[in-house]
Amino acid sequence: MADPLDSVNSETFKQQLHTSFQVRSGDSEPISMQLIDVREPPTAPGSELFCLHFRGPSSPRLPQKIWRFQHEKIGALDLFMTAVGADETGIVYEVVFHRLRIKRT
């Protein structure tokens, strides 16, 4: 069975900037978050690195752990997320992808 994470890259998420993702853990009620930024810092050759930033509500503050993300176009992904900032508009969370690039033939 193919890993759904293998089917996404930074471009996948750039196409969904400023759209909503539903985030949940277990049987909890989903929390709506907006994808606000996709960054691609420099990285070593042969690896892929990109960071996603989401804005969530001011409360509740979600703990650092793996969350189930659901998006109408991307589908469901389990992603490790941590809070990285907060302001009057909500809490900013980060998801980092850092992996070897696989050459497809």
What confidence tens digit (pLDDT) does each residue in 1-46 have?
567 777 899 999 999 999 999 999 878 789 999 999 999 998 888 8
Residue 75 lies in a domain: yes
Residue 14 lies in a domain: no
User: Distance between CA atoms of 95 and 102, rounded to whole angstroms?
Assistant: 20
Identify the pLDDT of residue 43: 87
What is the domain range of residue 79?
A: 20-30+51-83
Residue 69 lies in a domain: yes
Residue 90 lies in a domain: no
Query: Three-state SS across the chain?
Result: CCCHHHHCCHHHHHCCCCCEEEEECCCCCCEEEEEEEEECCCCCCCEEEEEEEEEECCCCCCCCEEEEEEECCCEEEEEEEEEEEEECCEEEEEEEEEEECCCCC
Residue 9 lies in a domain: no
What confidence tens digit (pLDDT) does each residue in 50-61 have?
999 999 999 999
Residue 99 lies in a domain: no
Whether this prediction's pTM lies above 0.85 is answered by yes
**Domains identified in the chain, total number:** 1
Identify the pLDDT of residue 2: 63
Residue 96 lies in a domain: no
